[in-house]
Structure 1
Amino acid sequence: MPYYKTEIEAGKTIEVIKSHTRSLNDHRPREGREKITPEDMKKINRINTEARLARLINANFGYGDYHLVLTYRKDLRPSPEEAKKRLAKFLRVLRREYKKYKEELKYICVTEYLNTAIHHHLIINGIEANINKIVRDCWEWGSPHFTPLDDTGQYRELAAYFIKETSKTYKANDGGAKQHYTCSRNLIKPVKKTTIIKSINWLDIPKPKKGYYIDKDTVYNGINPFTGAPIQKYTMVKLPEIKGKSG
């Protein structure tokens, strides 16, 4: 019986999903399929949200870009609604600053405020300028904190952290966060391709394509909770380029 192989290319990563059904979210009843509880559904939704965000980060950001945290001085902490306005103003001003260097701002951001002091997490693209000074000049309500992205190209842990950071606020749905994250409209979308593989089944231990390695923490062999059919998932990451030795 042939199976479907879906590959989602995002930057240096290729996510692979193998299944006997083309639709991975088939809600039709299937004999032998266990009933999905509300808690199961919440977990599945969180995993899917983390995966979508990881693909978006991987496709658009990398070495030379930054994880930025914007905090507020204690006497300047706003309400969630006011924080949205301040963040929007910051992004408008920052976008103008980028244009001065003939660069286009790219970003993904989340906001958290339940059981913690309100703050914003962003991923922004770096430019050939003093980005530290530019951001500090644009953010007038507190201190920005910078963490450079590494050169792996695989940022699934950062995506999971972003979703964890905003999970309580998102669940509250009180006007502060209508979605887990927001992003600029100029981001590249991951490329998805599905092919039919004429083989009875797949290997339990997948092999990477040439020039890639498999992120072992992403390998999953199990049952699709929606379809009751076997499924395999894993992510391949591009190997670092070997720099030539100087003679």
Structure 2
Amino acid sequence: MFTYKCEIQSGPMLEIKYYQSLRKRNKKNMSRSINRAITSEKMAQANRIRGEQHTQRLILANFKQGDWWVRFSAPYKNFTEEEFEKIVSNFFKRIKYHAKKQGVQFKYIGFCECGKRGGNWHLHIIIEDCIKDIALKMWKWSNGINLTPLYEDGNFADLAKYIRKDVTGTKRLKTSRNLTKPTVTVIEGKKREFKKLEKGEALPIPQGYYLVRDDMWVNDFTGASYHFVFMQLEMNHKRYAVECTKEATNESKAN
């Protein structure tokens, strides 16, 4: 059994994973172990979780508090999916053209969907604040725009779930090609550190971060794996720092 430590940096979020594998990473000429298929239900759940995590990482690596979650609607107009996709494609081209003239990049993550009654097609996308005014001018239905600032906590887990949620089986994720990808580093983990986690000892919090959550799950073949999520103590997360300061002050007064 081989032990590994994986670090994933997505903007202000740092994830640290400890896990064990039956095979050594990147080792050539090594026969594969017997394929142990899992049920389609478990596979679907695993794919859903991976999709949500990937989307959250992309959001954090590219957007921040002060950026926007926007719904661009085509009210009272009936389009086929193909027709609306063409409208969105031309919309993106116009934004990209004007953004380039102003010396800024056009980044986005989102999806298109249709109202329950088969009308009112709309586009949901995350855009940077520097793109907002350009995008608003380029959308020809000015009464079909709804703006929501990104969540203050900077975690975006709920937003990632909403973007990946698919109740119709037809949702298509849209992302620009210029998105910054999360940085992934995998090294051989120290077995001593893994043993401490198995005993229930906490992982030391990296300097400049605070712990968001920690998870542990068990695989039937490789045993326990551990996943820790940290966020940077920056201005975007000053609310958390203020709460910690208040707690410390209250404790001091109580003592």
TM-score by length of 2: 0.77
Distance 1:114-1:232 versus aligned 2 partners, 3 A rule: farther
Tell me the residue number matched to 1:182: 174
Q: Deviations over 1:144-191 (max 9, x none)?
A: 111122454322221111011xx134x24xxxx5xx412111111110
Q: Secondary structure at the match of 2:87?
A: helix
Is the 8 Å Cα contact of residues 75 and 121 (structure 2) preserved in structure 1? no
Distance 1:98-1:213 versus aligned 2 partners, 3 A rule: same
Shift of residue 3, structure 1, vs aligned partner: 2.3
Q: Which is greater in Rg?
A: 2
1:234 aligns with 2:228: yes
Shift of residue 29, structure 1, vs aligned partner: 4.3
One of 37, 40, 47 as aligned partner of 1:38:
40
Shift of residue 118, structure 1, vs aligned partner: 2.8
Tell me the residue number matched to 1:106: 107
Tell me the residue number matched to 1:56: 58
Distance 1:50-1:28 versus aligned 2 partners, 3 A rule: farther
Tell me the residue number matched to 2:116: 115
Q: Deviations over 1:105-131 (max 9, x none)?
A: 11112122273643211011121x8x3
Tell me the residue number matched to 1:124: 127
CA RMSD, 1 decimal: 2.6
Match runs of 1:209-224 below 5 Å: 209-216=206-213, 219-224=214-219
**Matches of 2:98 and 2:64, distance apart in 1:** 21
Tell me the residue number matched to 1:140: 140
Unaligned runs of 5+ in 1: none
Larger relative contact order (Cα-Cα within 8 Å, sequence gap ≥ 6):
1
Is the 8 Å Cα contact of residues 20 and 222 (structure 2) preserved in structure 1? no
Unaligned runs of 5+ in 2: 26-31, 242-255
Shift of residue 93, structure 1, vs aligned partner: 1.0
Q: Secondary structure at the match of 1:86?
A: helix
Is the 8 Å Cα contact of residues 114 and 168 (structure 1) preserved in structure 2? no
Q: Secondary structure at the match of 2:234?
A: coil
Distance 1:82-1:233 versus aligned 2 partners, 3 A rule: same
Match runs of 1:198-213 below 5 Å: 198-200=190-192, 201=194, 202-203=196-197, 204=200, 205-213=202-210
Matched length:
221
Shift of residue 68, structure 1, vs aligned partner: 0.9
Larger deviation: 204-213 or 98-107? 204-213
**Matches of 1:237 and 1:28, distance apart in 2:** 37
- Percent of aligned positions with the same letter in both sequences? 29
User: 2:139 is matched by which residue type in structure 1?
Assistant: W
Match runs of 1:15-30 below 5 Å: 15-21=15-21, 28-29=33-34
Tell me the residue number matched to 2:245: none
TM-score by length of 1: 0.79
**Matches of 2:138 and 2:114, distance apart in 1:** 21
